[in-house]
Chains A and B, each alone.
Chain A
Amino acid sequence: MNSGISRRSVLTGLGLAVIGASRVFAQDRISVLHEKPVPASDVPADAITVEIDKMKYQTPEVTIEAGDTVYWINREVMPHNVAFKEGIVAEGAFRGEMLTKDQAYAITFTEAGSFDYFCTPHPFMRGKVIVG
């Protein structure tokens, strides 16, 4: 379930805030810079991005290196997110915040592997991040 993750993330966030670290929270195989979505204009120009539009992840499969960060940017008003089933990026399930139009969400992949994801309210929307 998700509640455990978000509770832990809040606690971690508080702890890290005190010591001034940059990561909001870390799962087993990913870490997330900002728990809340950020404006698309904040996405670095050289970032690895997956645009979301017309009920699809426009790049359904991206291949990156361990330590790279992927930014998902929603380009339509239909809200979407990035979610992983149990056991994919952590023991539990992981559910990213919903993005509205021109909002972005970043995930840093810390371990090699193949990570299937989906959109929580639209389970027919699926994608994959391959970490080499």
Chain B
Amino acid sequence: LSHYVKLFSFHAKMPMEKKAVEMVERCLDKYFQNLCNDLEVFAAHAGRKTVKPEDLELLLRRQGLVTDEVSMHVLVEQHLPMEYRQLLIPCAFSGNSVFPAH
């Protein structure tokens, strides 16, 4: 969890108290719990036992992060580093092959 706390203090651009750090960790825990429950519901609704990228996209859409103007690929491009972007966004290569294939 310390990774995300570091990110928090990076985005907050302010020093913070130790107690506030504990609070952030508890919020993250809560957030993970909600996230897992939501993903379970979405996957069960589609009749699957596997959580697919579509479920994550639906989740982000319901959180108001993915909208009609801002698609998920835009968010991926803005926030994730290059090597993860290559894994997530389909891109045409030579020989008319698309990676990752859908």
Partners in one complex: no
